[in-house]
Amino acid sequence: MRTLFCLILTFAVPLILAARAEKPTAMEPLGPNAHNDSTANGYKKKWWKEAVVYQIYPRSFKDSNGDGIGDLKGITSQLDYIKGLGVDVIWLSPMYDSPNADNGYDIRDYRKIMTEFGTMADFDELLKGVKQRNMKMILDLVVNHSSDEHAWFVESRKSKDNSYRDYYIWRPAKNGREPNNWVSYFSGPAWKKDPATGEYYLHLFAEKQPDLNWDNPKVRREVYDLMKFWLDKGADGFRMDVIPFISKDQSFPDFPRDYDGNYGRVYASGPKLHDYIQEMNREVLSKYDVMTVGEAAGVTLEKTPLLVDERRNELNMIFQFDVVHIDRSGGRWKPWTLPELKAIYTRFEKGLDVHSWNTVFLSNHDNPRAVSRFGDDSPQSRVPSAKALATMLLTLKGTPFIYQGDELGMTNYPFTQIDEFDDIQVKNAWKAEVSTKQVSIADFIADLRKTSRDHARTPMQWDESPNGGFTTAAKAWLAVNPNYKGINARQALADRNSIYAYFKRMIEFRKRTPALVYGDYKDLDPQHSSIFAYTRTLGADKYLIVLNLSKHPVAYTLPGSLKAGQLALSNLDGKEEGVTVVDLKGWEARIYEL
């Protein structure tokens, strides 16, 4: 089932204290954000708590050589654009050598750059440009699985006694079938029978993504070595792909009888997960001043502190999927309400104490576009709603992650037929559900119009030239959204009222307002169906954020005896101050200092 998708990213990961660094040469000097052990509101101050992160999906960012595929030189050429937004950290989705069964999340060589993206020299140049601009860069660590074309797997599948056999998870058939009833995130069983030995290997994702066997100490050593390779080059940390899945119960029981269909929960419950992450921290992370964020598919809020409580020395933060799963049921789209969304942020506030840190994100390369999903991408509402969402993203508690193109208010793509999609998840689901007539073509496409990962993967829209200035090739690897003539970076940079300009103002505001980073969060009106009103409080500094997340105007009476204070920032022209009733237009967002 398409459901799978859900996985999408969670960033998480706790991070390692600079103070423990043994190899100062491998560290970026901390700069003005260095805090040693000072605290705010009980939280230890850390640069990665104060950072704003920008995610780049290299294939879709900028093509420098006219082959229709984004590349590293393309990213380097746009570093001023990224820096101009005011972000501190870039998260680069995988740029490693890969046959691209899952767009680089299937790695063939962990120490080589994908030929289509350039060379190691191009990578070094990119990293240098990032550092010159005083930014940092974290890489995607994809080590739950590799590509089936990785040299380890090529060896592993040759024979049962190959010295790499135990790098992966092999099992004989059980009663003539797969070893258990686990399913792949990309449709069908999670086991594939391999002709050379007649045994099955485990793949929680595509057949071309065999799961590594973390119970083999040699595999763990290999992973730690490749992490050091990139950290020694100067990378500032990792976003860790489906990291909670690395430990497996080697008896491979079937799904439990009372299982609710949430297989991520099952896959994330391996017995040695925390032993391995603590070992990784001891062996690698603790030696560098880095940021770590785990994509925590299947991890509940209750279990989150096990990964991110700083006293456990695992990760800095995780990506929790509750928000991006709000409109899904069994992988399909379902309607959602604002009170449901607000309840998630309150649960985070109550469920995580000062020892744990969180992330905030509304989109990434596995999700539809934020404005199409949480805002309103109609011509009248796209700009104000994207700004309202930017206000929310940058005032909630947790390190904010902006996905490329969201700063332009890029929208979902108007898909109408199957051959417009690239995503393996879609293609496999089509075979499993439409070809077998379980789902009609119309229903399948209608659902993808709301849920597909490919919405996020259409190329960046740079200007009004053909293909939005993404490439000079006649055709980009994935079609550019036809609305590029009205939505692109050139126009956004020239317009003081653009979504980009607003993101920039919001980021600047967040940077000079510690209450937005470390302050307590309180939802003032959990049940209101269109207003999201909350405070962020750090000592005497208190901010009220009022968002009208609907297109209808609302005369909103502030709860209790609250009076709107001094207006600090807003996305429209409302100027009221000191009032008890705020008159909000559709999608109006305001921040008051109380």
Q: Which does residue 242 bind out of ligand GLC, Ca ion, none, counting CB within 5 to 8 angstroms by kind? A: ligand GLC
Report the site for ligand GLC in 329-358 (rule: CB under 6 A). Answer: none
d(CA 456, CA 405): 8
Q: Which of Ca ion, ligand GLC, none is residue 142 near (CB under 5 to 8 Å by kind)?
A: ligand GLC
Q: Among 26, 67, 473, 567, which residue interacts with Ca ion (rule: CB under 5 A)?
A: 67
CB 187 within 8 A of CB 429: yes
The single residue of 295, 327, 366, 376 carrying the catalytic annotation is: 295
Q: Is 573 a catalytic residue?
A: no
Q: Catalytic pick from 28, 97, 116, 241?
A: 241
Q: Per rule CB under 6 A, is residue 242 in the interface with ligand GLC?
A: yes
> 65 touches which of Ca ion, ligand GLC, none (CB within 5 to 8 A by kind)?
Ca ion
Asked about 22 being catalytic, the answer comes back as no
* Residue 219: HSE in the Cβ half-sphere, 13 Å Cα cutoff: 23
Least separation in angstroms between CB 203 and ligand GLC: 10
Binding partner of residue 9 among ligand GLC, Ca ion, none, CB under 5 to 8 Å per kind? ligand GLC
Q: Annotate 391-428 with b (16+ C-beta within 10 A) or e (fewer).
A: bbbbbbbbbbbbbbbbbbbbbbbebeeeebbbbbbbbb
CB-based burial, 429-456: b 16+ in 10 Å, e otherwise:
bbebbbeeeebeeeebbebbbbbbbbbb
Candidates 6-14, 62-70, 175-183, 381-389; binding stretch for ligand GLC (CB under 6 A): 6-14
102 lines the binding site for ligand GLC (CB under 6 A): yes
Nearest distance from C-beta of residue 363 to ligand GLC, angstroms: 12
Contact characters 46-65, Ca ion, x per CB under 5 A: -----------------x-x
Give CA angle at 203 (197, 209), nearest 5°. 95
Helix then strand then coil, % of the chain, to nearest 5: 35, 15, 50
User: How many residues can be counted in the chain?
Assistant: 594
Minimal distance, residue 8 CB to ligand GLC, in Å:
6
Site string for ligand GLC, 187-206 (x = CB under 6 A): ------------------x-
Q: Which is nearer to ligand GLC, 184 or 571 (CB)?
A: 184
Q: Least distance from C-beta 98 to ligand GLC, angstroms?
A: 11
Helix (H, G, I), strand (E, B) or coil at 557: strand
Residue 69 touches which of Ca ion, ligand GLC, none (Cβ within 5-8 Å per kind): Ca ion
Least distance (Å) between residue 444 CB and ligand GLC: 19
- Best CA proximity match to 513, nearest among 52, 133, 101: 52
Neighbours of 23 (CB within 10 A): 12
Q: Is 8 in the site for ligand GLC (CB under 6 A)?
A: yes
How far apart CA 135 and CA 129 sit, in angstroms, is: 9
Contact 391, 504 (CB under 8 A): no
Alpha-carbon span 259 to 263, nearest angstrom: 8
Binding map of ligand GLC across residues 557-586, x = CB under 6 A, - = no contact: ------------------------------
Q: What are phi and psi of 474, to 5 degrees?
A: -65, -30
Binding of residue 69 to Ca ion (CB under 5 A): yes
Which listed option, Ca ion, ligand GLC, none, makes contact with residue 439 (CB within 5 to 8 Å by class)?
A: none
Q: Over the Cα atoms of the chain, what is R_g?
A: 23
Residues that are catalytic: 241, 295
| Site residues, ligand GLC (CB under 6 A) | 7-9, 102, 105, 142, 205, 241-242, 295, 365-366
